[in-house]
Amino acid sequence: MDHLQPFRPRPVLPLSVIKGRDWHLKRYAILADGRVFDDDIADAASAAALDRLPRAGDLLDGAGNHGVGFQIIHFAEIAVVSPTFYWQWGSVLAKAPQIRARWEAPTVFGDGVDQVVGCLWEMDIVRFETDAWRAKMLGGNGTPPERLVAYFEEQLV
């Protein structure tokens, strides 16, 4: 059974934080066997993710989103899949609609399977980012903007 093959880690690349539409997103790429990182694909995925996020809120607003999140660009076997998550209400992780591009047109992102949260490789990043948010934003020292800088500096490598 091909879909039940043994799990093997995949390379994870920390990418630069992007800013757009008042959002700040940490980004990561995951590379499946035989896939290589491509800047044009990553840029297209980030632009598509920003288009699907709600209006960015303010870091200090406890009643909405904080305009802060993270994006995973997974150069997977059958497609480029890119879940995007964002923080709201201080301690809640929300999910933007999943996006996906077929390898035949890897910079053209359409909607993915919305009920999917992510695969095991993506969940490793979600777990890391959840821990980083808790440690730096909800447990760190300094003002909220200073803690946000520390959060952005925390990267999975």
Nearest alpha-carbon partner for 94 in 136, 52, 135: 52
What does the pLDDT read at residue 140?
83
The pairing of beta strand 23-31 with beta strand 65-75: parallel
- Quick one: average pLDDT of 135-148? 95
pLDDT of residue 1: 46
- Return mean pLDDT, the chain: 95
pLDDT over 60 (residue 53): yes
Long-range Cβ contacts of 65-70 (<8 Å, 24+ apart): 65/94, 66/90, 67/22, 67/23, 67/24, 68/23, 68/24, 68/25, 68/148, 68/151, 69/23, 69/24, 69/25, 69/26, 69/96, 70/25, 70/26, 70/27, 70/28, 70/125, 70/129
The highest-level CATH class for domain 10-117 is alpha beta
Q: Report the share of the chain in percent with pLDDT over 90.
A: 90
pTM of structure: 0.95
Give the domain ranges of the chain: 10-117
Average pLDDT, stretch 30-47? Answer: 98
At 116 the pLDDT is 85
Asked whether the beta carbons of 15 and 29 are under 8 A apart, the reply is: yes
Q: What is the pLDDT of residues 76-132, one digit of tens each?
A: 999 999 999 999 999 999 999 999 999 999 999 998 887 788 899 999 999 999 999
